[in-house]
Every structure is written in C-alpha cells, then in structure tokens.
Amino acid sequence: MLSVLLVDDERSMRDFLKILLKKEGFDVRTAGDGTQALEMLAERGADLVLSDIRMPGMNGIELLEQVKGLYPGLPMVMVTAFSSPDDAVQAMHNGAFDYISKPFNVNELKSVIHAAINSGNGYTEEPSTPVTSFSGIIGQSREMQKIFDMIRRVSPTPANVLIYGESGTGKELIAKAIHANSRAAENNFVPINCSAIPEDLMESELFGHVKGSFTGAISDKAGLFQEADHGTAFLDEIGELTPMIQTKLLRVLQEREIKPVGGTKATKLNIRIVAATNKILEDEIREGRFREDLFYRLAVVPLRIPPLRERKGDVPLLVNYFLEKYSRQLNKDIQEISSYAMQVLMNYDFPGNVRELENIIERGVALENSNIILPESLSFHGRVTHNKVPVRKSKSGKLQFLTEVIHYRHAATSDTPEVATASSETSGIENPFTAPRFSLPGETASLLQIASSEQELYNIGIEQALAALEKRLIGHAIEKTNSKMKAAELLKMSFRSLRYKAKKYGIN
Ligand SMILES: Nc1ncnc2c1ncn2[C@@H]1O[C@H](COP(=O)(O)OP(=O)(O)OP(=O)(O)O)[C@@H](O)[C@H]1O
Ligand SMILES: [Mg+2]
C-alpha cells in the first residue's frame, strides 16, 4: 500500500487530511512538526510527504531541504496559506513537487497527490542510510542502492550475470565491481568487446588456435577464455555476437571446456561470465537474432542499470566526484559548482548518461576561469530545451542566476589564451546560455553583465535587470546573424515576439 506522511502542527487539519487520504486508499501517518517527520521517515519511509509550511520548530521549507538531501526521489507537496504566495514560490524553488493553497479544493488536492506519487520513488522499503559509493561506483539513489545490494549478493556466487543498460550507465564499472568482490578477485578480469572483433577471428580470439590451423597461425596461441580461466570474462555488447559464435559459446558454457581452432584436445575451464548489452535481448530472441538457450545461460542473474535521468538524485554526488577528479587531474582549484549550474544539470536528461556527465564536468573544469563552475562553462551534446531550464520558472531563479554570473564573473579574469583554445574545441556543442555563436567566454560575460556588483543589481531590481539582459541578447543576436528570423531561432523565441521586443527596445 502506498504511504503518505502528513506533517501539520494543527490537529484538526491532520485529522481532516488523514480521513480524506485514507478514503483514497493510502496508508497515512502523521507528524506534528518537521523533526518528528524526519524521525518517521528514517523509521519507515513514505511514498509522499504532504507538509504544511508554517510550523513551530523546523518549518516546512527546512523539512523540504532535509528531505531532498536525504531522499532525493521522494516527492513532497507543500500546503501553503492563500495569503502567503512567497512561501509557495520558495517551496517550488527548493524542489517541492507542487503546492496547494489553503483553503483547498479537495479534487485539486487529490489530483496533485496522485501526480506526485506517480512521479517519485518512495522510500518505503529501505529506510537504512544510503551508501554513496561501492567499489568505485558512485550513487545514493534508491536504484543504485538496489544495484549495490545485488552486486554484494551475487559477486561471491559463481552465477553468470547479464547487465542491461544504456550506453554510459556504468556497465563495465559494475562488471569490474562484481569481479573485485568475487572469490576470483585475485585472478584475471578479461574484457572482451564482442562488436570489435571481426567474425572470422572471433573463434580464435576467444578460444585460441593451434599452429598451422589457418594461414597466419604461425604458432599456438591461447585465447581470451584461457586468459580468464579461474577469473571473470566480461563479454561486452553480447547482443552483437553472430549466430555461429553464439552456438560455440553455448557449447563452452554447457560443457565448461574449450577446444582451440584446429585443435583436437579439449581443456577444462572454470570461468565466471559477466555479459553486458544495451539491447533488449528478449526482443532479439523474438526476432530470431539471439539464441534463447544462450540467453538463459548468461542471464542467470539479470541486472538492469537505470539511465541517469531516472535517478537524478545521483547527479549532485557524481558532479562533486568528477569535479574533484578533474580538478586534480587538470591541476586546477575548482571545488564548487554554482547552484544555478547545478540546477541546469538537474534539468538535463543526459542521453549519454554518466559518461556524458563526466565529459561535461571535465570540459567545464578545463574551460572555467574562476574557481567555481558557472552555467556558461557547461556544454551539452544533446539538446537542452529552454523551457526545462529553471531560470524561466521563477523570478527568484532568474535573480539567482544573474547574481551568480555577476558575482563570479566580476572576480574572474576572462580572455586568457587558455580559455580561447578550450572554447574553440567546444564549438558546435550546445550551451543553453551561450549558443554556438556566443562561444567566446569574454563576449558572453560582457553580454550577461548588466550590473557591476550585486548591490547594483538589487538597486536596479529584477524587472529592469531582466529587460536589460533581454535587450542585450536580442541586440547581440541580431547583430551576429544580421537577420531577425535567425536571431529569433538562435534565442529560441518566436519571430513575432522578437520583432515586437526589438521594436520596444529600439533595436533595428
Ligand atoms: N556510478 C558511477 N560512478 C562513477 N563513475 C561512473 C558511474 N557510472 C559510470 N561511470 C563512469 O562513466 C564512464 C562510462 O562508464 P562505463 O564504461 O562503465 O559505461 P558502459 O555502460 O559500459 O557504457 P557503454 O555501453 O557505452 O560501453 C566511465 O568513465 C565510468 O567510470
Ligand atoms: Mg561499456
């Protein structure tokens, strides 16, 4: 049964909501303040937290912050007073799934709650504190906790493991972790990329050959399987194996012995196989491209690694991990990422998964001139849709972004030769703030700079600051492209609205 934790200091409100949600079929528990709520979450978790904002002691916003840090996948809906819309803005800004204002409409409440529960990963099952890294694999999300647990359980057994996952999700890292935690850890881990070896060489590569068995076989040669004996063979991209090799591999797995090409004598082998694929092998079987009997031999334990977009709670942890790694490697002193840049990453869906995030951070560290990663230094291979970028969502988000850029840019020096070279490498890769044509960091900085200090920005005020930025960006884009049509495209706004605004700001 899905469970909801209700947090409100008013008894009557708790009772009312409890009855209502029980009728909806939820298991409902209640807490009178934030501290009590955290204790209850640690004890048994929940699938949704519904919390009042104004409460004595730890208030709802503070509770929200704690919950987001401890249980990133757990959705939280806030109850706000109709008279204080600022609370709602702040709650949304701090990561609430949604809010409802008192006095509320019961139907609206129900629909928000169902939507929130469907969006999240509740925490009901495992309230133990999450581990943040396991054998070099970083992750704190519930999904990764399950994977750590599976690795822990399956590694010491001889069972073959089949790892499924999109490209860049960490399949090889996980295969290595299985080996490192197995009884064969002292012996070899042999990665074999099934798609990289040509079919006619595959058999000899895997099982070895004897001298003279084919042209070029000038001496006996052991195969990769012999090398992996008493250890682990990692068969990467197993979905690419040809039918002939599939059949041979099946025989090896059944009989636990191999015969080298051209040889007559079979040798006994003791190998643990970990295979990986980004294909859905069940589909391949249905289409007749993959042997079902081989599949069952390989997938004794199947392990699915979810794409990064399904476990965004791991993003901050991975960012810090890679920041430290590349800061060290590139000899730079960057230990921080601006909160706005982090928000941009949280809103990106990472088609290339962890590998892509790693590349983004590596490039960011290389490009960044100040000692903190700013949004401008992030570049993306995939598309970043502007409406996903939180700057448009709330005024406080916009203000935060501007303040950050101004604050850090002010301290940083731009236009060093180092930056110029690095930026030329990234041309063609999209940055949500600096479309390719704005790729010179110095130019970008001056474009975004609308006040010379944080104080000045606050004096100007948000409306005027945003208008100034808009005017500058539109003017610049028109100048660059020499066409209002193209400028509109560049800025991802409609032509009509660009034309209107250009006129309003007196830009020709
Ligand atoms: N959870 C993680 N923690 C730390 N690093 C990770 C994690 N997942 C992936 N990486 C890093 O991301 C990169 C890609 O990982 P890996 O090669 O294991 O992915 P893969 O699933 O095998 O990808 P492909 O299908 O493209 O071969 C590596 O540099 C790896 O170290
Ligand atoms: Mg791989």
The sign of the torsion formed by the CA atoms of 462, 476, 428, 361 equals negative
Ligand 1 centroid to residue 236 C-alpha, Å: 13
Closest CA to 297 of 343, 341, 241: 241
pLDDT value of position 237? 95
- For residue 447, pLDDT beyond 90: no
In a domain, 485, yes or no: no
Residues 33 and 114 in one domain: yes
Residues 102 and 241 in one domain: no
pLDDT value of position 361? 95
- For residue 177, pLDDT beyond 60: yes
Measured from the Cα of 133, ligand 1's closest atom is 3
In a domain, 259, yes or no: yes
Domain of residue 372 covers 310-460
480-492 per-position pLDDT tens digit: 888 898 888 888 8
In the sheet that holds 3-7, the strands lie side by side as 27-31, 3-7, 48-52, 76-81, 98-102
Measured from the Cα of 165, ligand 1's closest atom is 21
The sign of the torsion formed by the CA atoms of 358, 362, 365, 368 equals negative
Ligand 1 centroid to residue 102 C-alpha, Å: 46
Q: Which one of 133, 169, 319, 323 would you pick to mutate in the ligand 1 pocket, going by the greatest count of ligand atoms within 8 A of its CB?
A: 169
Under the banding of pLDDT at 50, 70 and 90, the label for residue 465 is confident
C-alpha distances (whole Å) from 234 to each of 29, 190, 275 are: 47, 6, 6
286-300 per-position pLDDT tens digit: 999 999 999 988 988
Query: Which CATH number characterizes residue 174's domain?
Result: 3.40.50.300
Number of domains in the chain: 3
pLDDT value of position 116? 87
In a domain, 492, yes or no: no
pLDDT value of position 290? 95
Mean pLDDT, the chain, integer: 82
In a domain, 149, yes or no: yes
In a domain, 152, yes or no: yes
Residues 139 and 241 in one domain: yes
Q: Which of 189-193, 459-463, 493-497 has the highest mean pLDDT?
A: 189-193
Q: Which of 84-98, 324-338, 398-412 has the highest mean pLDDT?
A: 324-338
Of 268, 285, 304, which one is at a domain's C-terminal end? 304
Instruction: Examine residue 103 and say whether the peptide bond preceding it is cis (omega within 30 degrees of 0).
Output: yes
Query: Which CATH number characterizes residue 48's domain?
Result: 3.40.50.2300
Residues 114 and 137 in one domain: no
Query: Which CATH number characterizes residue 341's domain?
Result: 1.10.8.60
pLDDT value of position 438? 32
Of 54, 88, 119, which one is at a domain's C-terminal end? 119
Which residue puts its alpha carbon closest to atom 6 of ligand 1?
170
Residues 318 and 455 in one domain: yes
pLDDT value of position 184? 93
Measured from the Cα of 314, ligand 1's closest atom is 1
CA gap 140, 148 in Å, rounded = 10
Ligand 2 centroid to residue 238 C-alpha, Å: 11
In a domain, 483, yes or no: no
CA gap 7, 401 in Å, rounded = 32
**Residue 269: both structure tokens together:** 């082998």
Residues 420 and 354 in one domain: yes
Measured from the Cα of 321, ligand 1's closest atom is 4
Residues lining ligand 1, Cβ inside 6 A: 137-139, 165, 167-173, 278, 354-355, 358
Residues 266 and 353 in one domain: no
pLDDT value of position 396? 57
pLDDT value of position 391? 39
Of 53, 84, 119, which one is at a domain's C-terminal end? 119
pLDDT value of position 321? 95
CA gap 184, 181 in Å, rounded = 8
Under the banding of pLDDT at 50, 70 and 90, the label for residue 408 is low
Closest CA to 406 of 477, 459, 366: 459
Ligand 1 centroid to residue 355 C-alpha, Å: 6
Please spell the DSSP secondary structure of 12-51, one letter per residue: HHHHHHHHHHHHTT-EEEEESSHHHHHHHHHHH--SEEEE
Reported for 250-259, long-range contacts at CB under 8 A and 24+ positions apart, including other chains, are: 250/291, 250/293, 250/294, 250/297, 252/207, 252/225, 253/160, 253/294, 253/297, 253/298, 254/297, 258/206, 258/207, 258/208, 258/223, 258/225, 258/226, 259/207
Q: Which of 44-53, 166-175, 218-227, 367-376 has the highest mean pLDDT?
A: 166-175
Please answer whether residues 178 and 302 qualify as being in contact, where contact means their C-beta atoms are separated by less than 8 angstroms: no
In a domain, 475, yes or no: no
**Residue 168: both structure tokens together:** 């860049």
pLDDT value of position 8? 94
Residues 71 and 180 in one domain: no
Residues 288 and 434 in one domain: no
In a domain, 474, yes or no: no
Strand 372-373 and strand 27-31: the pairing is unpaired
- For residue 147, pLDDT beyond 90: yes
Average pLDDT (294-313) is 90
- Residue spans of alpha helices (H) in 164-264: 171-180, 199-207, 224-227, 243-255
Which residue puts its alpha carbon closest to atom 26 of ligand 1?
167
pLDDT value of position 158? 87
Residues 100 and 206 in one domain: no
- For residue 121, pLDDT beyond 70: no
Residues 181 and 300 in one domain: yes
* Helices vs. strands in the chain: H and E counts, helices first: 22, 16
pLDDT value of position 375? 81
3 state SS of 184? coil
Strand 133-134 and strand 98-102: the pairing is unpaired
Residues 261 and 410 in one domain: no
349-368 per-position pLDDT tens digit: 899 999 999 999 999 999 88
- For residue 436, pLDDT beyond 60: no
